[in-house]
Every structure is written in C-alpha cells, then in structure tokens.
Structure 1
Amino acid sequence: MSAIATPARQSTGGISARTVNRIVIYGLLALFALFYLMPLFVMLVTSFKTMDEIQNGNMLALPQAPTFAPWIRAWSEVCSGLTCVGMKGYFWNSIKMVVPAVIISTLLGALNGYVLTKWRFRGATLVFGLMLFACFIPFQSVLLPMATILGSLGRFGVKLQNVTGLTFGFGNPTVNLVFVHVVYGIGFTTLFFRNY
C-alpha cells in the first residue's frame, strides 16, 4: 500500500485577503474615531489657550502658553443667569443627583433582571415587554409629565411635613430628581441585567 503524497500547503508570502480586510476595517474605524473625537480635542485644547490665542490662532493648534485661568474662572466666577458664582455649585448638584440615581436604578434593575430571568411567572413576558417599551419612549415626551410629577412631589413633601413633621426628602428638588430618574432608568437597567 503506497501512501499518497500531498503537497504541503505553501505560504505565498503575500498578505491574505482577510488581513487586508482587517487593515481596511480598522483603518476606517480609527479614521471615524478621530473624526468623532475631534470636537473633544478642540474643546480641550481651546480651554487651555488665552483669549488672544483663541481669537487670532488656529483652532487645532496647541496652546503656546497653556493656562488654567479659564478653568479657574469657569469654576468660581462664571455667570449663569443673574448670579456669578461659577459652576462648582451646579457641578456638585449634578453629582448629588446622578450618583444616587445611578446606584439605586442599577440595583433595582439588577433585582428586576434577576427575577425576570430566573422566576417564570404568568405574565413575566408581558411585564418585561412593558419595561422594554418604556425604554423606547422619547425623553422629550416625558419632560412635561416629569415637571408635573416634580411639582406634585414638592407639594407632597410640604403636606407630609405638615402632617407628620417628616418629609422623607420629598420637598428637596434633588431628591425629587433622583426619584424621577430612578423610575425612568429602571426599564433600561432591567433590560441590561435580564439580557446579561
């Protein structure tokens, strides 16, 4: 019995079509990423320039004498409306609202996602479908009802304080915003955790 000799696969030494495709794909992705990140680059570079450099220089040029003065002025002196107290108060208000809203919404979404994944009850698909539907409601259509709810929560906090002496935070605008954003975010986080 003779063995049939098969020629060994020879490497051509050239670049395969798959490699060329990968180079083109990653090259285009890098180009699009640079194009997408260009406004961020311009914003950051411009924030370290003096006003003369901004008015007379090239928008993409690096600052000749980098300065933190615009950052310091924006943080402590910039005017918003009629007050000139800077952005620091608004920044900390945003942190006070975002951090609890994200943590609470994530925890509730994780619990909901776990329950909808592990516990098959009658109507589980309908409940998940309704939560999924909530993800596709445009935020602009929620703004007016949200403003109404925020006003109602403020009035509820005042009534609650008059009756019990406690508000549970419902008279505080930051707590009210956290509550509304938690409710709005539960659909998204449930979707993420159910499919995770």
Structure 2
Amino acid sequence: MSTTVSTPVPPKDATGQPVRLRQDKGRERFGLARTLRYVALVLGIMVVLVPVYVLFITSFKGAGDASPTRAWNLPETWTMQNWQDAWTALSPALWRTFQMVIPASIIAAFLGSLNGFVLARWSFRGANLVFTLILFGMFIPYQAVMIPLLQIFLDANIPSGVPSLILLHVIYGIPITTLIFRNYYMTIPHELVEASRVDGAGMLRTYWSVILPISVPSFVVVLIWQFTSAWNDFLFAVFFSSSQNGPVTLALNNLANGAMLQNYGVSMAGALFASLPTLVVYIILGKYFVGGLMSGSVKG
C-alpha cells in the first residue's frame, strides 16, 4: 500500500499571485543591508588607499616625472634614488625619535599605572578631586601654554631636543594614561587587593606582585597610544628642538620644504619612512589594542 506525500501549496492573494512569506522578506532586507555595508566598506577603503597609492608611486618617480599633473600615472622609469636621498636626510632624525619616543612611552605608562592603581584601589580623602585635576590636563590646548612652558624650560636650563621632548611627552601623557589604567583597575575584584593586605603586603608590594602582572592589556593600549602620539608630534618639536637635534617630523618638514620645488618623490619617500614605525607597531600590537580598551570599559 503506497502513501502519497502532498507538496504544500504556497498561499495566494486575491489575484492568484503567491503571497511572499515574512521569512523571505526578512532575508531580502538582511541581504540588502549587508550589501550596503559592503559598499560603504569598499568606499571607505578607497578613500584611505587612494592617497597611499599616489604617495607610493610618486616615491619611485624621477624629478621630471613627479608632478601634480601626472600624480595618478605610474612612473615612466622606476627609481630608488628618492628612497636613498630620503634615508640619508632622515636617518639621524629617525634615530633621535626612537631615543625620545621609547623612554617617553614607557615612563608615562608606568606613572599612569601607579596613578591609576592608587586612585582606583587605594582610596584616600580627595581622590576624586585629584583625579579630576589630572584629567583637566587633557583639555588644556598646547598652544595656550607653549610660550610660558618654553620659558620655564629655559629658566630650568633643560637641554633642548630629546631631553625636553621626553619630559614634555611624559607630562602630557600622564592624564590619558591615568584615565586608561584607572578604568581598567576599577574592573579588578576588590577581594584581590584585600587578600594581599591580609597577607601583609603594602601598597607598593600589592602593585608590584599582584596588580602589575595582570596589567598587560592596558600597558599595550597605553604604549601604542603614547608611541603614536609622541612620534607624530610636530608642535613640541618646533618649539623645543631644532633641525640638528629634533625628531623626524621636524626633519620631514625641512625635507619637504627643500625638495618641494625640485622632486616630489623625495618628500613622498620621506613621508613613508616617517610613517613606517607607527604602522609596524599597529600591525604587531593592533589586535591587542581594542581588547585592551574594552577590558577597562565596564566601569569608570
């Protein structure tokens, strides 16, 4: 005895046309939204990569080939001379910038970590006021204090160049590093600090043995932030250094002013040299950056 399986017939409207199910409509809307997101993503990538394309191909053009009217064209003759000239001009400044950025980032991160721990887990009278005053430093425009700050450095006989820039970036890095570390330490269970107190550990011992080992995510965020901020700074470099002892941003500006009327390719190659270290930092540590930010975003 055979059993016949009937095929379900889709519902129809008054005109005899099949009625579209709600699931099909939802799938169609989802597909349209996803398509629009991809289109927006492609447009955003193009906006970012088009200038990079012009920058890259111009760095391989000769003096006669690099011009605004031929910016989109590939080089007629590919040359590495621009890169050699840019390296010769910028290599001393690149080394000075590393000497400035690395200690400035590490010192600011360590001081911000200490401040954040004390303000988050070692409460004292007036802690909120101190935290507010520290954060107030983030909102003071550099331009408003540049002249008096320069006079203070001159009166204190602080050498210009790398020493002055290290001190400046540490001072102006403390507010943002304190904020990031405090928000992260607020998410740490209070029982962890209390347990170390019960075991007889003081504030510094608790910080060094308990808090510091679990602070890696925030340190990654702060180091990336400070490294990028100090590396790309130009205003402090203009006021507190010269072309003989300044960072790469100042040297790049001098290179562009000297080569602009002769060869755009040298300026473009120099810009790529100057941006390469920050790009490498983001490639290596970028995947930890967002995670480190989110780890301290629960409480604040």
Task: Report the TM-score when normalising by structure 2.
Answer: 0.48
**Residue 83 of structure 2 corresponds to which residue in structure 1?**
71
**Inter-partner Cα distance in structure 1 for 2:106 and 2:36:** 41
Shift of 1:11: 4.7
Give the Cα separation in 2 of the matches to 1:180 and 1:171: 12
* 1:153-193 Cα shifts (integer Å, max 9, x gaps): 32xxxxxxxxxxxxxxx546422221121011101111122
Q: Report what 2:113 is aligned to.
A: 110
> What is the aligned counterpart of 1:140 among 140, 143, 147?
143
Separation in 1, partners of 2:99, 2:168 = 14
Any conservation in 2 of the 1:153–1:176 contact (CA below 8 Å)?
no
- Contact map agreement 1:146 1:180 (CA 8 A) in 2: no
Shift of 1:105: 0.7
Instruction: Describe the superposition over 1:83-104 as per-residue Cα deviations: whole angstroms up to 9, x where unpaired.
Output: xxx2222222222111111111
Alignment of 1:128 with 2:131, yes or no, is: yes
Q: Which runs of 5+ in 2 are unaligned?
A: 1-20, 184-295
Which residue does 1:47 correspond to in 2? 59
For 1:43 and 1:100, how far apart are their aligned partners in 2?
A: 31
1:74, 1:87 within 8 Å by CA — same for their partners in 2? yes
More RCO (CA 8 Å, sep 6+): 2
Identity %, equivalent residues: 38
- Alpha-carbon distance in 2 for matches of 1:30, 1:132: 38
TM-score, structure 1 length as denominator? 0.71
Structure 1: how far apart are the matches of 2:64 and 2:159? 47
Q: Separation in 2 of the partners of 1:116 and 1:137?
A: 22
Q: What is the distance in 2 between the residues matched to 1:62 and 1:107?
A: 47
Distance of aligned partners of 1:18 and 1:11 in 2 relative to their CA distance in 1, 3 Å threshold: closer
- Kindly tell me: are residues 56 and 179 of structure 1, through their superposed partners in 2, closer, same or farther at Cα, counting changes over 3 Å? closer
Report the aligned-residue RMSD: 2.6
Q: Secondary structure at the match of 1:54?
A: coil
TM-superposed CA distance for 1:52, in Å, is 2.3
- Give the partner amino acid of 2:77: A
Which residue of structure 2 lines up, in the alignment, with residue 174 of structure 1?
162
Change (3 A) 1:190 1:30: farther
Aligned to 2:70: 58
For 2:99, what is the secondary structure of its paired residue?
Answer: helix
Amino acid at match of 1:87: L
| Structure 1 segments (4+ residues) deviating >3 Å | 13-16, 170-173
CA displacement 1:36-79 (0-9 Å, x = unmatched): 34333322221111122213863123334332211111222xxx
Alignment of 1:16-27 (within 5 A): 16-27=28-39
